[in-house]
């Protein structure tokens, strides 16, 4: 029976949670303060610690640090009534496994426990754990584990498909981090110790795609001055990631399909075929089904690539994760620029949360790197933000009520004035299509 230590000073709540966990076959000890919890941790071996954020003699993050310093194998989950994203950021940075706010959802509690116990490192790997991840998973730290509902769904999909050999098609807007998702699928797969080869299909001219994918022999064509190993052979045994796969020409699609079906490739100019064993992961920000309907993308190849699909959510749909990502990119920018910025002003955070982020994570990263470079103080303030961010926050306050019928006409007029009657820009500002805008203007007799 798995043992759980529950650290909670609310006696009624702790008794309720204790009985709930015991009904689900867990053994639970309860501590009402940090001091007693420290003593219990020295006496007993626990599989999981649940701790309230606020304790009579300290806080859950202090207890988390203490546990990580003494035994990094115990996963820690924080409980709090103060569901602040900034606190979640700090907890995650210190090594918390997860973060749950009260009132608790019973199914969520059980899911978090199962995930924590499944992902707990084995004892033989203990010497490799340093409070973050061991060597094999170092790159996983580049993948911020969000706390929003859509992020948790994304993590679950990755965990589910990674150990299999299924081909994965990753979709999502530009800048959402599709390659990072692909890399984490590879790192959590049985091929993690083999190569991960990433290829941008949009940057390969169709005339040399065969050489890029399958390689060539010296003298096979003009300019082939030496042998070249193709991406398929380079990824042999590991994973091949094809980004923007929808950009491949029809001829290249045929070549790719044949290689996947036969699991062997022949370098240009060679008479020998090379057997390849790869896990294929692809990504696109296009609608490949529409491309299939138009005849621009082969249907048989689409089904070959889409054995399992994952949609990466846009940043505007992950508002709960925004500060997590901002903090992560700030840490990276500090390292790259040799700066020591400690955070963001409340005004900047308000700007971030009101902006629609059309460039997603890539845009957020660029904004923060620029702001870090320009900042002369320890806190990033409004003065170093790009003008478009400030402008967007100002206009959002005017147009966020567009959905109510009563003020549609007024908002359309205001939007058109704001952008100098540019209907394309007005439609973007109102978050509707240009066709919808034209229809609305006709409805309200606006010229």
- State the pLDDT at residue 406: 52
Do 149-311 and 401-443 agree at the fold level?
no
- State the pLDDT at residue 141: 37
Model confidence at 92, in pLDDT bands (50, 70, 90)? low
Sequence ranges of the domains in the chain: 3-130, 149-311, 315-394, 401-443
Sign of the alpha-carbon dihedral angle for 62, 65, 70, 74: positive
DSSP string, 134-160: -GGGGGGGGS----SHHHHHHHHHHHH
Mean pLDDT of the chain: 83
Over 90: is that where the pLDDT of 302 sits?
yes
Over 90: is that where the pLDDT of 290 sits?
yes
Model confidence at 170, in pLDDT bands (50, 70, 90)? very high
CATH topology of domain 149-311: Rossmann fold (3.40.50)
The class that CATH gives domain 315-394 is mainly alpha
- Domain 401-443 of CATH type 2.30.30: no
- State the pLDDT at residue 117: 82
CB neighbours of residue 250 within 10 Å: 12
- State the pLDDT at residue 116: 81
DSSP string, 341-356: --EE-HHHHHHHHHS-
Q: Which two tokens stand for residue 394?
A: 């100002």
- State the pLDDT at residue 130: 35
Q: Give the model confidence (pLDDT) of 234-245 as tens digits.
A: 999 999 999 999
CA distance 26 to 193: 35
- State the pLDDT at residue 221: 81
% the chain with pLDDT above 90: 40
Q: Give the model confidence (pLDDT) of 39-87 as tens digits.
A: 999 888 899 999 988 888 888 888 888 888 775 678 888 887 654 555 6
Lowest mean pLDDT among 167-171, 183-187, 397-401: 397-401
CB neighbours of residue 192 within 10 Å: 16
Listed in order, strand segments (DSSP E) in 260-400 are 264-265, 274-275, 279-284, 308-311, 343-344, 379-380
Over 60: is that where the pLDDT of 262 sits?
yes
Model confidence at 137, in pLDDT bands (50, 70, 90)? very low
CB 80 within 8 A of CB 60: yes
Model confidence at 403, in pLDDT bands (50, 70, 90)? very low
Q: Give the model confidence (pLDDT) of 325-375 as tens digits.
A: 998 899 889 988 999 898 888 888 888 888 888 889 999 999 999 999 999
Instruction: Give CA torsion, residues 133, 93, 74, 56, to 10 deg.
Output: 170
Instruction: Let me know the angle formed at the C-alpha of 397 by 391 and 398, rounded to the nearest 5 degrees.
Output: 95
- Domain 3-130 of CATH type 2.60.120.10: no
Q: Give the model confidence (pLDDT) of 404-436 as tens digits.
A: 455 678 778 877 887 778 887 777 677 676 767
418's enclosing H/E stretch is helix 408-418
Q: Give the model confidence (pLDDT) of 376-402 as tens digits.
A: 998 999 889 877 666 655 555 544 444
């Amino acid at each position: 029976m798995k043992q759980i230590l529950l650290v909670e000073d609310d006696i009624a709540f702790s008794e309720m949670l204790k009985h709930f966990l015991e009904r689900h076959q867990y053994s639970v000890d309860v501590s009402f303060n940090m001091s007693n919890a420290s003593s219990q941790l020295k006496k007993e071996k626990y599989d999981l610690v649940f701790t309230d954020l606020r304790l009579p003699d300290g806080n859950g993050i202090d207890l988390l640090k203490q546990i990580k310093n003494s035994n990094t194998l115990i996963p820690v989950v924080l409980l709090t009534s103060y569901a602040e994203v900034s606190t979640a950021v700090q907890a995650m940075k210190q090594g918390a496994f997860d973060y749950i706010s009260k009132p608790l959802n019973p199914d969520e509690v059980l899911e978090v426990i199962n995930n924590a116990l499944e992902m707990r490192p084995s004892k033989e790997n203990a010497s490799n754990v340093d409070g973050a991840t061991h060597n094999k998973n170092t790159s996983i730290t580049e993948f911020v584990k969000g706390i929003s509902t859509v992020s948790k769904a994304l993590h679950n999909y990755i965990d589910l498909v990674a150990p299999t050999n299924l081909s994965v098609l990753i979709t999502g807007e530009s800048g959402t981090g599709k390659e990072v998702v692909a890399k984490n699928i590879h790192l959590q797969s049985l091929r993690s110790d083999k190569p991960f080869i990433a290829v941008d299909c949009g940057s390969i001219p169709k005339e040399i795609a065969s050489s890029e994918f399958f390689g060539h022999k010296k003298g096979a064509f003009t300019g082939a001055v030496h042998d070249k190993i193709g991406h398929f052979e380079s990824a042999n045994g590991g994973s091949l990631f094809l980004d923007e796969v929808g950009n491949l020409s029809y001829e290249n699609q045929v070549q790719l399909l044949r290689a996947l079906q036969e699991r062997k490739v022949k370098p240009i100019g060679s008479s020998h075929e090379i057997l390849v064993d790869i896990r294929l992961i692809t990504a696109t920000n296009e609608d490949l089904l529409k491309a299939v309907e138009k005849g621009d993308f082969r249907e048989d190849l689409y089904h070959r690539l889409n054995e399992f699909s994952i949609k990466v959510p846009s940043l505007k749909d992950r508002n709960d994760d925004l500060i997590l990502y901002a903090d992560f990119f700030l840490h990276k920018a500090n390292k790259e620029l040799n700066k020591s910025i400690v955070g963001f002003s409340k005004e900047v955070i308000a700007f971030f949360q009101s902006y629609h982020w059309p460039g997603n994570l890539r845009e957020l990263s660029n904004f923060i790197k620029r702001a870090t470079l320009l900042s002369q103080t320890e806190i990033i303030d409004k003065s170093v933000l790009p003008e478009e961010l400030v402008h967007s926050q100002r206009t959002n306050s005017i147009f966020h009520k567009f959905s109510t019928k009563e003020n549609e006409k007024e908002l359309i007029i205001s939007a058109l004035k704001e952008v100098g009657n540019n209907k394309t820009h007005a439609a973007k500002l109102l978050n509707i299509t240009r066709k919808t805008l034209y229809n609305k203007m006709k409805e309200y007799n606006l010229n």
